[in-house]
Chain A
Amino acid sequence: MADLRANLAGITSPNPFWLASAPPTNSGYQIMKAFDAGWGGAVWKTMGVPVVNVSSRYGAVNYRDTRMMGFNNIELITDRPLSDNLREIEEVKKYFPDHAVIASLMVQTREEWHQIIKDVENAGADGIELNFGCPHGMCERGMGSAVGQEPNVLKTITMWAKEVAQVPVIVKLTPNITDITEPARAAAAGGADAISLINTVQSIVNVDLDTFAPNPSVDGKSTHGGYCGPAVKPIALNMVKSCAQDRDVNIPISGIGGIETWRDATEHMLLGASNVQVCTAAMHYGFGIVREMKAGLEDYMDSKGFETLYDLIGKSVPKVESWEHLNLNYKIIAEIDNTKCIGCQLCYIACEDGAHQAIGLSEINGERTPHIIEENCVGCNLCSLVCPVEECITMVDVTKNKTHESWSDYMNNGKAPTTFDDDRAGGKHHWVPEPKDALKKRK
């Protein structure tokens, strides 16, 4: 049976599933309830000088009938007095000594940082997360992502925290930056024990077509918010990977961004996260959603023979290379299983209009059967991605040249095209129809 116990830079928890600093961790009541439901840790809603929030705080992107595929908020850090939060931290730790309670903090001066770190440690916090990520409201006051976007400032403040902190210090990073490894390195250089990423992405989720005001609308006006939910997972995974691969970062990662299922969590960990933090899924489905995550991860680990999380953390990191090292001799083509095909012809039109005109149509015995024109297929996967039937279109390895040759090999061996009409162009011998053929079927 798989052991789900997690350890992030010395902070232990019964499992790797933490609630991220957000509305679900606003109070001791919620966190106790979450721990009781099975969460392994919680990062307290960011503490500092309490704020005043607006009413109308969240917006969502629905995709067809899927609600909240993306989610954004314009809420700030905690609006509750610090003493209330400290008292509740103490109480939670009394009931759940083995669970991780992390204090997320955001203040301005060195003195304030020192004071609040001592306060939360006295209350029993197992770790501290420096909120350098919040992309709205706080950054305009020189905090949150304003810090996360300035590696030097980030490093300095991290050092201030480390001057007094007895417990591990996690730096939470904003993705609203060109290269995530820069603030990650600065955090490491400042002495951070771990980083957590990503915070939310600056966003406007949608615009009301009648009032012309974006959502969420506050008395007819809006402001950019922070985007999260399933839609941001790919952005998060890439940034987690980048930090995991960077030798100058080299500190543990807490993965955040679009985690709703055990699969999402496992992907984060395979790409280098030691544990994960979740918010939107808990806001959507409640704390009970963790049951699926725990059970799924456990079953996956059992099926793979992984005994502890260390067997999987970072396992995919060496599987990501820069493009120039990918094998240009590798060749796949699509194969359609006509016994599974339902005849929607989405593969046909996707390839025809959106790719390489490598699928033909024929009507055989009244069946609308598409077929692959092998010489045109470049192995792009598009048809297999649009196909609504599981395993109807598969990509088959047809590699003839078994040697590994990458773009960097091409450059070294003089095989790379260098002029506009170079004969070595990858698509030089690829058939494309004549432009006027497009009008053949015009009515």
Chain B
Amino acid sequence: MSDFKKPQTTAEYEANFPQLKPLMDANMAYYESSRCLFCYDAPCIKACPTSIDIPLFIKQINTENLTGAAKTIYSANFFGHTCGKVCPTEVLCEGACVYNEQDVKPIEIGRLQSHATTDAIRKDKSIFKKADANGKSVAVVGAGPGGIACASELATLGYQVDIFEAKAKPSGLAMHGTAPYKIANQDVMDEVAYLQRQLGFKVIYNKNIDTRRELNTLESKYDAIFLGIGLGDTRSTGTPGEQLENCIGATEFIEQLKLDPLSVTVGKKVVVIGGGNTAMDAASESARLGADVTLVYRRSKEAKGAYEFEYDLAKSVGVKALFSTNVTEIIGDQKVAQLKCIKTQSTDGKLENVDGSEFTIECDFLIRATGQIKQKDFLDLAGLQYDNRGKVKVDSESGQCSNPIYFAGGDAVNGGAEVVNACAEGKSAAQGIHSYIINK
């Protein structure tokens, strides 16, 4: 059983969802930055998808040059603050820190990064160099990390950029999909507002691009179009009973929680289906909302896709797990009441149900973390090629699509990765767009 009670007030909510990587104060940052060895050809830089010069910005923090540190971070990654908080640093920069090799705690790179960027954002430090307007314009579809990174980079190159966003708030999954204990909504908003103030790209909210006519307009009005469209809703697994009340996709559940935490509904006995990081997040979050949570995954514990530390985090708030278990039917009268399950085993890599191992578990709220659908409909509409798994086909260097006016990056291209990957892809696509336009 979890120790959490369903939060009724914002204060109770914040108490149940304390920040995993709270901000450092100046003293902590000073001591932590003092530990950095300033490695040559540093492994942390290599492990960062955006190749931030980490030893340099840590040295800059240590010499009380916070603005310089922020410049170093933002010159590589426009979501420097968000990434400092939401990146799985344990498997990226901090996981590569050489201190791990001698069982010394790695440098808290993520928190140091947030420390420097917080200072720049709060003081509205002007750190970006912007080229003169070049008279060219680019449309960006989707104000997620990929789209905003692309728009920001283009703005520094002198482009006028308009971002079209279907939702009412920016930052895509960085806002709507990251666990509340990783970053507060306001921090995500503040970083985008900071970028916008300095770089001047425009965001048109609540504007879904979903007709051929709209695409025609974009194609004729802009010199290039960047697609940072991400992925769609949670994929159906075809399990009977998915249509019952209190059966929800993980992406949808987390979005509700992020946008309106006090009115989100969750049951008393929650089951989360899936073995990925999103499943771990949904399970952790349900537990922190006061539910008794069981994770059900069809494959073994070892085969789960989630990072070990994400699983540990879920366990630490009382989440139980049933591995090698398939949910075959969702039973209930209007609402979810029970799950029919069967044990599985893997023979020669093939997963099979074990005959005679059927059992049922009680469940009044089911969260399916079974992956998101690809945006094939949109890609068909835009006439762009995608691979057999629905991922947009792009040139790996420039991010250019099969129709040369289109570029893409982020989850729609990589199939679903971290915020930091989208940032890297958005930024490099901007360079691709730039060389496409000047060579046109």
Interface residues of A (CB under 8 A from B): 64-65, 340-346, 348-349, 361, 368, 388-389
Contact = CB atoms under 8 A, between A and B. Distances in A.
Given A342-B98, A343-B98, 5 more contacts: A65-B30, A65-B34, A344-B37, A345-B40, A345-B41
Interface string B336-353: 000000000000000000
Nearest to B32: A65
Secondary structure class of chain A's binding surface, majority of residues: loop
16 contacts: A64-B34, A65-B30, A65-B35, A340-B102, A341-B101, A342-B98, A342-B101, A343-B101, A344-B39, A344-B40, A344-B98, A345-B39, A345-B41, A348-B40, A368-B41, A368-B43
B209 to A, nearest CB: 38
Contact of B39 (A340, A346, A361, A389): A346
Contacts of B37: 344, 346, 388
Secondary structure class of chain B's binding surface, majority of residues: helix
Contacts of B34: 64-65
Nearest to B102: A342
Contacts of A345: 39-41
Interface in B25-63: 30-31, 34-35, 37-41, 43, 62
A64 B43 contact: no
A64 to B, nearest CB: 4
B201 interface: no
A163 B35 CA distance: 57
Contacts of B222: none
B13 interface: no
A108 to B, nearest CB: 46
Interface string B71-114: 00000000000000000000000000011011000000000000
B96 to A, nearest CB: 9
Nearest to A348: B40
A65 B37 CA distance: 13
Nearest to B64: A209
Contact of A346 (B35, B40, B62, B102): B40
Shortest beta-carbon contacts, A-B, top 6: A342-B101, A65-B34, A349-B40, A64-B34, A345-B40, A342-B98
Contacts of B30: 65
Contacts of A64: 34, 62
B200 to A, nearest CB: 30
A92 to B, nearest CB: 40
A296 B99 CA distance: 30
Contacts of A361: 41
Interface in B194-226: none
Interface string B156-177: 0000000000000000000000
A65 B36 CA distance: 11
Contacts of A388: 37
B40 A342 contact: no
A345 B31 CA distance: 23
Contacts of A349: 40
Contacts of A65: 30-31, 34-35
A389 B40 contact: no
Nearest to A340: B102
Interface in B281-316: none
A65 B107 CA distance: 14
A32 B213 CA distance: 92
Nearest to A367: B101
A129 B67 CA distance: 52
A342 B99 contact: yes
Nearest to A209: B64
A361 B43 CA distance: 14
A264 B98 CA distance: 31
Contacts of B40: 344-346, 348-349
Contacts of A340: 102
A348 B39 CA distance: 10
A303 B41 CA distance: 43
Contacts of A342: 98-99, 101-102
Nearest to A342: B101
Contacts of A389: 102
A9 B434 CA distance: 82
Nearest to A349: B40
A384 to B, nearest CB: 15
Nearest to B46: A368
A349 B40 CA distance: 6
Interface string B95-139: 000110110000000000000000000000000000000000000
Most buried by A among B30, B41, B99: B41
B78 to A, nearest CB: 22
A224 B119 CA distance: 36
A64 B38 CA distance: 13
A368 B34 CA distance: 23
Nearest to A368: B43
Contacts of A346: 37-40
Nearest to A350: B40
B110 to A, nearest CB: 20
A361 B40 CA distance: 11
A346 to B, nearest CB: 6
Contacts of B102: 340, 342, 389
Contacts of B35: 65
A349 to B, nearest CB: 4
A343 B31 contact: no
